[in-house]
Amino acid sequence: MALPTGNESTPAPDDVELMTLIAQGDEEAFRLLVERHQRLVYGTVVKMLGDPVEAEDIAQQVFLRVYKAAKTYTPTAQFKTWLFTIVRNLVVNEYRRRTRAWLQPLPEQIEEAEDGMAAGLELADPQAKTPAEEALNREMMKSIDSAILALPEQQRLAVVLRRYDEFSYEEIAAVLKTSVSATKSLLFRARETLRSALQSYLDKT
């Protein structure tokens, strides 16, 4: 079945409509849903785990869970909030599995992953013109990602959802299963920690 992607005159089906089709086993609807949300899901998991390879596996698992849950899915909450609750659960599980299995990435692995992350973003910044500027830019991105990775789990997810995924406080609170005031508090503490960790870059700007 060829679903409209939004480029044609017919509007693209919304997430709830896609979920209804997925519940009937429609693979094309599933592919469309993945394409629509892959950037935020994958990008969030990379920011949370710091490992692009592991992130692809976890992001795929997120979408497989969506497929399996489609038959029982009831659109009581916003789809995005529901989707990121799955992201949160899988990331937390992975984080705990790593902690139990002593699978925390080694410093060199972090460096490689961050190099990979920075390399993936190389073309995203047209401002970096000289090799020296590029190197500085890459170094700064590594420092930012390291500072985010060093935050406690809840603070990290709150920051990523707010800054990169543009979630409202209410949506973050729903994903983290906490109150709006607790979410604001998490973000405040995260901001203070990040300010302290990235002070040298703040002084330059």
Partner 1 sequence: MEPNDPIWKLLGKAPLQEPNAWFAARTVARLRREAKQPAPSLWRRLLPVSAWMGATAVVVVACVLSFGGNPPRPVPTSAELSHRAKIQDALNYIADRGAETDQWLAISNQ
Contacts with partner 1 by CB under 8 A lie at: 27, 30-31, 34-35, 38-40, 42-44, 46-47, 52, 55-56, 59-60, 63-64, 67-68, 117, 120-121, 124-125, 137, 140-141, 144-145, 148, 159, 162-164, 187, 191, 194-195, 198, 201-202, 205
In the complex, minimum distance from the CB of residue 166 to partner 1, in angstroms, rounded to a whole number: 10
C-alpha separations of 36 from 80, 110, 147, 151 in Å: 11, 29, 29, 28
Q: CA 70, CA 86: separation in Å to the nearest integer?
A: 13
Is the Cβ of residue 71 or residue 99 nearer to partner 1 in the bound state? 71
Q: How far is the CB of 174 from partner 1 (least distance, A)?
A: 18
Of 160 and 174, which has the nearer Cβ to partner 1?
A: 160
Distance of closest approach, residue 67 Cβ to partner 1, in angstroms: 5
DSSP state at residue 7:
S
Judged by beta carbon, residue 33 or residue 174, the one nearer partner 1 is 33
CA-nearest of 116, 114, 115, 136 to 125 is 136
Residue 20 or 143 with smaller CB distance to partner 1: 143
- Among residues 81 and 137, whose Cβ is nearest to partner 1? 137
Torsion of CA 20, 24, 28, 33, to 10 degrees: 30
Find out whether 175 and 167 touch, Cβ atoms under 8 Å.
Answer: yes
User: How far are the Cα atoms of 4, 32, 76, 168 from residue 25, in angstroms, in the given order?
Assistant: 17, 13, 21, 32
From residue 58, alpha-carbon distances to 41, 87, 196 in Å are: 9, 8, 31
Shortest CB 148 distance to partner 1, Å: 8
Q: How far is the CB of 133 from partner 1 (least distance, A)?
A: 13
